[in-house]
Amino acid sequence: DAMVIQNPRYQVTQFGKPVTLSCSQTLNHNVMYWYQQKSSQAPKLLFHYYDKDFNNEADTPDNFQSRRPNTSFCFLDIRSPGLGDAAMYLCATSRLNRDRGNEQFFGPGTRLTVL
Amino acid sequence: AQTVTQSQPEMSVQEAETVTLSCTYDTSESNYYLFWYKQPPSRQMILVIRQEAYKQQNATENRFSVNFQKAAKSFSLKISDSQLGDTAMYFCAARNAGGTSYGKLTFGQGTILTVHP
């Protein structure tokens, strides 16, 4: 089945130790998104890629970076995680198609713990 | 800019009964899409139902239906014959139809729905 895959599902890192979260998709969607979701809150968009065009949200901290080496993969790099970065990180994809209302397909998320 | 507001942090319903989750939004766009997403505990977010603003007919998907009131900017979700598996956080979301938003969603704060046996 076509899907959005996130690895790992659970990640533990130490304060200040760089960490990378990965997302892959078999949907061949041209847009990929990274969200941060804290407990019982709405997902907060960090950035998104339209093909290789990177779009950063204005309030995304510089500590967060992203890479999209090809259509299928997208990475979230946290350069120096702080305790406040502990959260669920969601990857989503969509096909830029106005007729379909750009439904976003979400991965299962990676829960990041910072010790 | 869009805003989406869900005024009910938590709701509960008995199995087999009907429940309605509220959502209001604000946008300056003439064409846009509205969505309800469901996020079960420890599981991934999935789309429940989609409404296109230029369509007057309310969307329905099996037990799920919406009451879309464009003038009032209201978009409520009705769940009929509630099932235990409907227990989840529900997010209302909006997206502009055009421009360079690349499908960016604006989410509401979410409503935690608990279905009791």
How do residues B15-63 score in pLDDT, each as one tens digit? 999 999 999 999 888 888 999 999 998 778 999 999 988 888 999 999 9
Q: Do A101 and B35 touch (CB under 8 A)?
A: yes
- Cα torsion angle, B72, B46, B116, B58, sign: positive
Residues A12 and A80: beta-carbon distance below 8 Å: no
B109/chain A closest Cα distance in angstroms: 5
Residues forming a β-bridge with A19: A78
Q: Do B95 and A98 touch (CB under 8 A)?
A: no
Contacts of B97 in chain A (CB under 8 A): 98, 101
Q: pLDDT tens, A64-98?
A: 999 999 999 999 999 999 999 999 999 999 987 65
User: Rg for chain B (alpha carbons), in Å?
Assistant: 14
List of residues 6+ apart from B1 with CB closer than 8 A: none
CA–CA gap between residue B106 and residue A91 (Å, rounded) = 15
Q: B50 touching A, CB under 8 A?
A: yes
What is the band of B108 on the pLDDT scale with cuts at 50, 70, 90? very high
Q: pLDDT tens, A30-55?
A: 999 999 999 888 999 999 998 899 99
Contacts of B55 in chain A (CB under 8 A): none
In the chain, the amino acid numbered A28 is N
How many residue pairs from chains A and B have C-beta atoms closer than 8 A?
Answer: 55
Q: Does the structure show a pLDDT above 70 at A2? A: no
Three-state secondary structure readout of A15-48: CCCCEEEEEEECCCCCEEEEEEECCCCCCEEEEE
Q: Percentage helix, strand, coil, to 5, in chain B?
A: 5, 50, 45
What are the CA-CA distances from residue B101 to residues A18, B2, B4, B10 (Å)?
30, 11, 16, 31
Q: B103 touching A, CB under 8 A?
A: yes
Q: Report the Cα–Cα distance between both ends of chain A, in Å, rounded.
A: 36
What is the band of A99 on the pLDDT scale with cuts at 50, 70, 90? low
Three-state secondary structure readout of B18-69: CEEECCEEECCCCCEEEEEEEECCCCCCEEEEEEECCCCCCCEECCEEEEEE
| Partner residue opposite A42 with nearest CB, options B35, B95, B108 | B108
B18/chain A closest Cα distance in angstroms: 24
Average pLDDT for chain B? 92
The pLDDT, as a whole number, for residue A21 is: 97
Q: Does the structure show a pLDDT above 80 at A102? A: no
